[in-house]
Structure 1
Amino acid sequence: MSVLGVLVRQLLRFGLYAGMQVFIVGQLSLFGLGWCFLYLGFVLFLPLGTPIVLQLLLGFGMGLAMDISYDTGGLHAAAAVLLAYLRPWVLRLLTPRDGYDAQDTVNVHQMGWQWFMVYLLLLVSLHHVAYFFLELGSFQHPLLTLARVGVSILFTSTALLIVQLLFFPVRRTRS
Protein backbone atom coordinates (compact mmCIF):
# COMPACT_ATOMS: atom_id res chain seq x y z
CA MET A 1 0.00 0.00 0.00
CA SER A 2 1.33 3.45 -0.86
CA VAL A 3 2.21 6.08 1.73
CA LEU A 4 -0.80 8.15 0.68
CA GLY A 5 -3.06 5.13 1.09
CA VAL A 6 -1.73 4.46 4.58
CA LEU A 7 -2.18 8.12 5.51
CA VAL A 8 -5.77 8.21 4.25
CA ARG A 9 -6.57 4.97 6.05
CA GLN A 10 -5.17 6.29 9.36
CA LEU A 11 -7.09 9.57 8.97
CA LEU A 12 -10.29 7.60 8.41
CA ARG A 13 -9.54 5.48 11.50
CA PHE A 14 -8.91 8.66 13.51
CA GLY A 15 -12.23 10.16 12.42
CA LEU A 16 -14.11 6.94 13.05
CA TYR A 17 -12.75 6.39 16.56
CA ALA A 18 -13.16 10.06 17.50
CA GLY A 19 -16.67 10.23 16.06
CA MET A 20 -17.81 7.03 17.74
CA GLN A 21 -16.40 8.22 21.07
CA VAL A 22 -17.94 11.69 20.97
CA PHE A 23 -21.33 10.94 19.43
CA ILE A 24 -22.18 7.47 20.72
CA VAL A 25 -19.92 5.94 23.36
CA GLY A 26 -19.27 9.14 25.32
CA GLN A 27 -22.90 9.16 26.40
CA LEU A 28 -22.66 5.72 28.01
CA SER A 29 -21.98 5.16 31.69
CA LEU A 30 -21.83 1.91 33.61
CA PHE A 31 -23.57 2.33 36.97
CA GLY A 32 -22.49 5.98 37.00
CA LEU A 33 -19.05 4.67 37.91
CA GLY A 34 -17.37 3.56 34.69
CA TRP A 35 -16.93 5.09 31.27
CA CYS A 36 -15.83 3.64 27.97
CA PHE A 37 -12.85 5.24 26.25
CA LEU A 38 -13.25 3.64 22.83
CA TYR A 39 -10.90 6.19 21.26
CA LEU A 40 -7.97 4.32 22.83
CA GLY A 41 -8.40 1.73 20.10
CA PHE A 42 -6.94 4.22 17.63
CA VAL A 43 -3.59 4.24 19.46
CA LEU A 44 -3.68 0.62 20.65
CA PHE A 45 -4.37 -0.83 17.21
CA LEU A 46 -1.81 1.20 15.24
CA PRO A 47 0.49 -0.92 13.06
CA LEU A 48 3.42 -2.42 14.98
CA GLY A 49 5.97 -0.62 12.79
CA THR A 50 4.65 2.86 13.59
CA PRO A 51 7.55 5.07 14.77
CA ILE A 52 7.37 6.19 18.41
CA VAL A 53 7.37 9.89 17.53
CA LEU A 54 4.39 9.38 15.24
CA GLN A 55 2.62 7.35 17.95
CA LEU A 56 3.15 10.19 20.44
CA LEU A 57 1.83 12.77 17.98
CA LEU A 58 -1.20 10.64 17.11
CA GLY A 59 -1.90 9.98 20.79
CA PHE A 60 -1.67 13.69 21.52
CA GLY A 61 -3.92 14.51 18.56
CA MET A 62 -6.57 12.02 19.62
CA GLY A 63 -6.38 13.11 23.26
CA LEU A 64 -6.61 16.76 22.25
CA ALA A 65 -9.66 16.02 20.11
CA MET A 66 -11.31 14.38 23.14
CA ASP A 67 -10.30 17.27 25.41
CA ILE A 68 -11.84 19.77 23.01
CA SER A 69 -15.02 17.69 22.73
CA TYR A 70 -15.43 17.11 26.48
CA ASP A 71 -13.75 20.31 27.79
CA THR A 72 -11.42 18.30 30.03
CA GLY A 73 -8.42 20.62 29.94
CA GLY A 74 -5.73 18.22 28.76
CA LEU A 75 -6.61 15.11 30.78
CA HIS A 76 -7.26 12.95 27.74
CA ALA A 77 -4.18 14.30 25.93
CA ALA A 78 -1.90 13.57 28.88
CA ALA A 79 -3.21 10.05 29.41
CA ALA A 80 -3.23 9.27 25.65
CA VAL A 81 0.38 10.45 25.27
CA LEU A 82 1.33 8.25 28.23
CA LEU A 83 -0.42 5.33 26.52
CA ALA A 84 1.42 6.02 23.25
CA TYR A 85 4.72 6.29 25.13
CA LEU A 86 4.25 3.01 27.01
CA ARG A 87 2.96 1.04 24.00
CA PRO A 88 6.42 0.23 22.52
CA TRP A 89 7.65 -0.87 25.95
CA VAL A 90 4.71 -3.24 26.35
CA LEU A 91 5.18 -4.53 22.80
CA ARG A 92 8.84 -5.24 23.60
CA LEU A 93 7.81 -6.96 26.82
CA LEU A 94 5.36 -9.19 24.91
CA THR A 95 7.57 -9.88 21.89
CA PRO A 96 7.12 -13.48 20.75
CA ARG A 97 10.16 -15.77 20.72
CA ASP A 98 10.48 -15.41 16.94
CA GLY A 99 9.86 -11.64 17.03
CA TYR A 100 7.22 -9.75 15.11
CA ASP A 101 6.83 -10.02 11.35
CA ALA A 102 6.82 -6.84 9.28
CA GLN A 103 3.15 -7.39 8.44
CA ASP A 104 2.02 -8.04 12.03
CA THR A 105 -0.71 -5.89 13.47
CA VAL A 106 -2.31 -5.77 16.88
CA ASN A 107 -5.01 -8.28 16.11
CA VAL A 108 -6.55 -10.84 18.44
CA HIS A 109 -6.85 -13.32 15.58
CA GLN A 110 -3.23 -12.97 14.54
CA MET A 111 -1.48 -12.59 17.91
CA GLY A 112 -3.65 -14.91 19.96
CA TRP A 113 -6.02 -14.41 22.88
CA GLN A 114 -3.46 -14.54 25.67
CA TRP A 115 -1.08 -12.04 24.06
CA PHE A 116 -3.92 -9.70 23.11
CA MET A 117 -5.61 -9.72 26.52
CA VAL A 118 -2.34 -9.03 28.37
CA TYR A 119 -1.54 -6.21 25.92
CA LEU A 120 -5.02 -4.71 26.11
CA LEU A 121 -5.53 -4.96 29.87
CA LEU A 122 -2.05 -3.69 30.72
CA LEU A 123 -2.20 -0.60 28.52
CA VAL A 124 -5.85 0.23 29.26
CA SER A 125 -5.14 -0.11 32.99
CA LEU A 126 -2.14 2.22 32.83
CA HIS A 127 -4.13 4.77 30.84
CA HIS A 128 -7.11 4.67 33.19
CA VAL A 129 -5.04 4.95 36.37
CA ALA A 130 -3.29 8.01 34.94
CA TYR A 131 -6.52 9.56 33.64
CA PHE A 132 -8.64 9.12 36.77
CA PHE A 133 -5.95 10.19 39.23
CA LEU A 134 -5.15 13.24 37.08
CA GLU A 135 -8.89 14.01 36.96
CA LEU A 136 -9.13 13.79 40.73
CA GLY A 137 -5.97 15.85 41.19
CA SER A 138 -5.11 14.19 44.50
CA PHE A 139 -5.24 10.93 46.40
CA GLN A 140 -8.12 12.02 48.68
CA HIS A 141 -10.65 9.41 47.57
CA PRO A 142 -8.54 6.43 46.50
CA LEU A 143 -11.22 3.74 46.90
CA LEU A 144 -13.81 5.57 44.81
CA THR A 145 -11.16 6.37 42.19
CA LEU A 146 -9.95 2.76 42.09
CA ALA A 147 -13.56 1.60 41.71
CA ARG A 148 -14.00 4.00 38.78
CA VAL A 149 -10.71 2.77 37.30
CA GLY A 150 -11.70 -0.89 37.65
CA VAL A 151 -15.19 -0.54 36.18
CA SER A 152 -13.88 1.63 33.34
CA ILE A 153 -11.12 -0.88 32.55
CA LEU A 154 -13.70 -3.63 32.20
CA PHE A 155 -16.04 -1.44 30.12
CA THR A 156 -13.31 -0.13 27.78
CA SER A 157 -11.56 -3.50 27.40
CA THR A 158 -14.81 -5.27 26.58
CA ALA A 159 -15.73 -2.64 23.99
CA LEU A 160 -12.28 -2.80 22.37
CA LEU A 161 -12.38 -6.60 22.30
CA ILE A 162 -15.76 -6.42 20.55
CA VAL A 163 -14.28 -3.98 18.02
CA GLN A 164 -11.43 -6.43 17.39
CA LEU A 165 -13.76 -9.39 16.92
CA LEU A 166 -16.17 -7.53 14.65
CA PHE A 167 -13.94 -5.34 12.51
CA PHE A 168 -10.46 -6.85 12.37
CA PRO A 169 -10.05 -9.56 9.75
CA VAL A 170 -9.08 -13.13 10.42
CA ARG A 171 -5.96 -13.82 8.37
CA ARG A 172 -5.84 -17.41 7.37
CA THR A 173 -2.65 -18.95 6.08
CA ARG A 174 -2.90 -21.18 3.05
CA SER A 175 -1.59 -24.68 3.54
Structure 2
Amino acid sequence: MIRDLLKYLIMLVVLVLLQALILNNIQFSGYVNPYLYVLFILLLPFETPRYLLLFMGFFLGLFIDIFSNTPGIHASATTFLAFLRPFAIDLISSRDTIEVNTPPRLSFMGFGWFLRYTLMLVLAHHLFLFFVEVFTFEGFIYTLSRSLLSAAFTIVLVIISQFLIFKE
Protein backbone atom coordinates (compact mmCIF):
# COMPACT_ATOMS: atom_id res chain seq x y z
CA MET A 1 0.00 0.00 0.00
CA ILE A 2 2.77 2.44 0.95
CA ARG A 3 4.68 1.39 -2.16
CA ASP A 4 1.67 2.21 -4.37
CA LEU A 5 1.18 5.55 -2.63
CA LEU A 6 4.82 6.43 -3.22
CA LYS A 7 4.55 5.35 -6.87
CA TYR A 8 1.53 7.60 -7.48
CA LEU A 9 3.14 10.51 -5.62
CA ILE A 10 6.24 10.24 -7.83
CA MET A 11 4.03 10.03 -10.92
CA LEU A 12 2.16 13.18 -9.79
CA VAL A 13 5.37 15.16 -9.25
CA VAL A 14 6.92 14.00 -12.54
CA LEU A 15 3.78 14.79 -14.58
CA VAL A 16 3.31 18.23 -13.00
CA LEU A 17 6.97 19.14 -13.58
CA LEU A 18 6.92 17.74 -17.12
CA GLN A 19 3.79 19.74 -17.89
CA ALA A 20 5.01 22.95 -16.27
CA LEU A 21 8.59 22.95 -17.52
CA ILE A 22 8.33 21.35 -20.96
CA LEU A 23 4.85 20.77 -22.33
CA ASN A 24 3.42 24.21 -21.46
CA ASN A 25 6.10 25.67 -23.73
CA ILE A 26 5.06 23.54 -26.71
CA GLN A 27 2.56 25.11 -29.07
CA PHE A 28 2.12 24.33 -32.73
CA SER A 29 0.71 27.43 -34.48
CA GLY A 30 -1.35 28.25 -31.39
CA TYR A 31 -3.56 25.23 -32.05
CA VAL A 32 -1.98 22.28 -30.28
CA ASN A 33 -1.22 22.33 -26.56
CA PRO A 34 -0.41 18.90 -25.09
CA TYR A 35 -1.75 18.30 -21.58
CA LEU A 36 -0.17 15.05 -20.45
CA TYR A 37 -0.87 15.72 -16.78
CA VAL A 38 -4.34 14.17 -17.23
CA LEU A 39 -2.54 10.81 -17.31
CA PHE A 40 -2.43 10.90 -13.51
CA ILE A 41 -6.23 10.78 -13.19
CA LEU A 42 -6.52 8.26 -16.02
CA LEU A 43 -4.15 5.79 -14.37
CA LEU A 44 -5.52 5.81 -10.83
CA PRO A 45 -6.77 2.38 -9.69
CA PHE A 46 -10.35 1.36 -10.44
CA GLU A 47 -11.27 1.16 -6.76
CA THR A 48 -10.28 4.77 -6.01
CA PRO A 49 -13.24 6.35 -4.19
CA ARG A 50 -15.08 9.09 -6.06
CA TYR A 51 -14.51 11.73 -3.41
CA LEU A 52 -10.77 11.02 -3.56
CA LEU A 53 -10.81 11.25 -7.37
CA LEU A 54 -12.45 14.68 -7.17
CA PHE A 55 -10.04 15.82 -4.48
CA MET A 56 -6.97 14.67 -6.41
CA GLY A 57 -8.35 16.05 -9.68
CA PHE A 58 -8.86 19.46 -8.13
CA PHE A 59 -5.40 19.63 -6.57
CA LEU A 60 -3.68 18.31 -9.70
CA GLY A 61 -5.37 21.06 -11.72
CA LEU A 62 -4.54 23.61 -9.04
CA PHE A 63 -0.84 22.69 -9.23
CA ILE A 64 -0.94 23.14 -13.01
CA ASP A 65 -2.79 26.47 -12.58
CA ILE A 66 -0.10 27.70 -10.20
CA PHE A 67 2.69 26.88 -12.66
CA SER A 68 0.72 28.11 -15.69
CA ASN A 69 -0.61 31.29 -14.06
CA THR A 70 -4.18 30.42 -15.04
CA PRO A 71 -6.93 31.26 -12.54
CA GLY A 72 -8.56 27.89 -11.85
CA ILE A 73 -9.11 26.77 -15.44
CA HIS A 74 -7.12 23.56 -15.11
CA ALA A 75 -8.52 22.88 -11.63
CA SER A 76 -12.07 22.99 -12.95
CA ALA A 77 -11.28 20.93 -16.06
CA THR A 78 -9.40 18.26 -14.12
CA THR A 79 -12.16 18.07 -11.50
CA PHE A 80 -14.62 17.59 -14.37
CA LEU A 81 -12.38 14.81 -15.73
CA ALA A 82 -12.28 13.12 -12.31
CA PHE A 83 -16.08 13.42 -12.07
CA LEU A 84 -16.59 11.77 -15.48
CA ARG A 85 -14.07 8.96 -14.98
CA PRO A 86 -16.31 6.48 -13.08
CA PHE A 87 -19.13 7.00 -15.58
CA ALA A 88 -16.76 6.40 -18.51
CA ILE A 89 -15.47 3.21 -16.92
CA ASP A 90 -19.03 1.97 -16.33
CA LEU A 91 -19.99 2.90 -19.88
CA ILE A 92 -17.23 1.04 -21.70
CA SER A 93 -16.69 -1.99 -19.48
CA SER A 94 -18.62 -4.57 -17.59
CA ARG A 95 -17.97 -5.62 -14.01
CA ASP A 96 -16.45 -8.87 -15.32
CA THR A 97 -13.62 -7.14 -17.17
CA ILE A 98 -12.47 -5.00 -14.24
CA GLU A 99 -10.16 -6.74 -11.81
CA VAL A 100 -9.68 -5.31 -8.35
CA ASN A 101 -6.26 -3.81 -7.63
CA THR A 102 -5.44 -3.25 -11.30
CA PRO A 103 -5.05 0.23 -12.72
CA PRO A 104 -6.60 1.06 -16.10
CA ARG A 105 -3.50 0.49 -18.20
CA LEU A 106 -3.03 -0.58 -21.78
CA SER A 107 -1.20 -3.75 -20.74
CA PHE A 108 -4.05 -4.87 -18.47
CA MET A 109 -7.16 -3.77 -20.37
CA GLY A 110 -6.12 -4.09 -24.01
CA PHE A 111 -5.60 -1.50 -26.71
CA GLY A 112 -9.25 -1.07 -27.79
CA TRP A 113 -10.57 -0.58 -24.28
CA PHE A 114 -7.76 1.79 -23.29
CA LEU A 115 -8.14 3.84 -26.48
CA ARG A 116 -11.91 4.30 -25.95
CA TYR A 117 -11.32 5.17 -22.29
CA THR A 118 -8.60 7.70 -23.09
CA LEU A 119 -10.44 9.17 -26.06
CA MET A 120 -13.63 9.86 -24.10
CA LEU A 121 -11.97 11.37 -21.07
CA VAL A 122 -9.24 13.39 -22.77
CA LEU A 123 -11.71 14.79 -25.29
CA ALA A 124 -14.15 15.79 -22.51
CA HIS A 125 -11.31 17.39 -20.53
CA HIS A 126 -9.99 19.37 -23.48
CA LEU A 127 -13.40 20.57 -24.65
CA PHE A 128 -14.21 21.75 -21.13
CA LEU A 129 -10.77 23.35 -20.70
CA PHE A 130 -10.71 25.30 -23.94
CA PHE A 131 -14.31 26.49 -23.79
CA VAL A 132 -13.90 27.63 -20.17
CA GLU A 133 -10.68 29.37 -21.19
CA VAL A 134 -12.40 31.52 -23.84
CA PHE A 135 -15.73 31.60 -21.96
CA THR A 136 -17.69 32.47 -25.08
CA PHE A 137 -19.08 30.74 -28.12
CA GLU A 138 -17.67 33.42 -30.37
CA GLY A 139 -15.03 31.71 -32.48
CA PHE A 140 -16.67 28.34 -31.78
CA ILE A 141 -15.00 26.56 -34.72
CA TYR A 142 -11.55 27.87 -33.75
CA THR A 143 -11.98 26.74 -30.14
CA LEU A 144 -13.40 23.39 -31.22
CA SER A 145 -10.52 22.77 -33.60
CA ARG A 146 -7.98 23.72 -30.90
CA SER A 147 -9.67 21.29 -28.51
CA LEU A 148 -9.76 18.44 -31.00
CA LEU A 149 -6.18 18.87 -32.19
CA SER A 150 -4.83 19.21 -28.66
CA ALA A 151 -6.84 16.18 -27.54
CA ALA A 152 -5.51 14.13 -30.45
CA PHE A 153 -1.92 15.07 -29.62
CA THR A 154 -2.46 14.36 -25.92
CA ILE A 155 -4.00 10.96 -26.71
CA VAL A 156 -0.98 10.07 -28.84
CA LEU A 157 1.32 11.04 -25.95
CA VAL A 158 -0.74 8.96 -23.49
CA ILE A 159 -0.61 5.90 -25.77
CA ILE A 160 3.15 6.35 -26.32
CA SER A 161 3.66 6.63 -22.56
CA GLN A 162 1.85 3.32 -22.12
CA PHE A 163 4.23 1.60 -24.51
CA LEU A 164 7.42 3.22 -23.19
CA ILE A 165 6.94 3.78 -19.47
CA PHE A 166 3.98 1.87 -18.10
CA LYS A 167 4.54 -1.49 -19.76
CA GLU A 168 4.22 -4.26 -17.20
Contact 1:30 1:155 in 2 (8 A): no
What do residues 88-118 of structure 1 show as CA deviations (whole Å, max 9, x unaligned)? 0001111236241113221112111111111
Runs of 4+ in 1 over 6 A off after TM superposition: none
Relative to structure 2, which stretch is displaced further, 6-15 or 77-86? 6-15
Contact 1:52 1:85 in 2 (8 A): yes
The structural deviation recorded for 1:166 is 0.7
User: How high is the TM-score relative to the length of structure 1?
Assistant: 0.92
Q: How does 1:7-86 map to 2 (within 5 A)?
A: 7-86=5-84
Match of 2:140 among 139, 142, 154: 142
Q: Which amino acid aligns with 2:152?
A: L
SS class of match (1:131): helix
- In structure 2, C-alpha distance between the alignment counterparts of 1:30 and 1:48, rounded to whole Å: 34
The share of aligned pairs that are identical, in percent, is 35
Relative to structure 2, which stretch is displaced further, 96-105 or 31-40? 96-105
Contact 1:79 1:130 in 2 (8 A): yes
- In structure 2, C-alpha distance between the alignment counterparts of 1:31 and 1:109, rounded to whole Å: 34
- In structure 2, C-alpha distance between the alignment counterparts of 1:162 and 1:28, rounded to whole Å: 17
- Bigger Cα Rg: 1
- In structure 1, C-alpha distance between the alignment counterparts of 2:26 and 2:158, rounded to whole Å: 15
The structural deviation recorded for 1:48 is 1.0
Structure 2 residue runs of 5 or longer lacking an equivalent are none
Match of 2:99 among 97, 101, 106: 101
Q: Which amino acid aligns with 1:117?
A: L
**2:153 alignment partner in structure 1:** 155
- In structure 1, C-alpha distance between the alignment counterparts of 2:5 and 2:105, rounded to whole Å: 20
SS class of match (2:44): coil
- In structure 1, C-alpha distance between the alignment counterparts of 2:18 and 2:111, rounded to whole Å: 25
SS class of match (1:104): coil
Structure 1 residue runs of 5 or longer lacking an equivalent are 171-175
CA RMSD of aligned residues (A): 1.2
- In structure 1, C-alpha distance between the alignment counterparts of 2:124 and 2:19, rounded to whole Å: 19
Q: Which amino acid aligns with 1:5?
A: R
- In structure 2, C-alpha distance between the alignment counterparts of 1:6 and 1:163, rounded to whole Å: 19
The total of aligned residue pairs comes to: 168
- In structure 1, C-alpha distance between the alignment counterparts of 2:114 and 2:154, rounded to whole Å: 14
- In structure 2, C-alpha distance between the alignment counterparts of 1:20 and 1:33, rounded to whole Å: 20
User: How high is the TM-score relative to the length of structure 2?
Assistant: 0.95
**2:127 alignment partner in structure 1:** 129
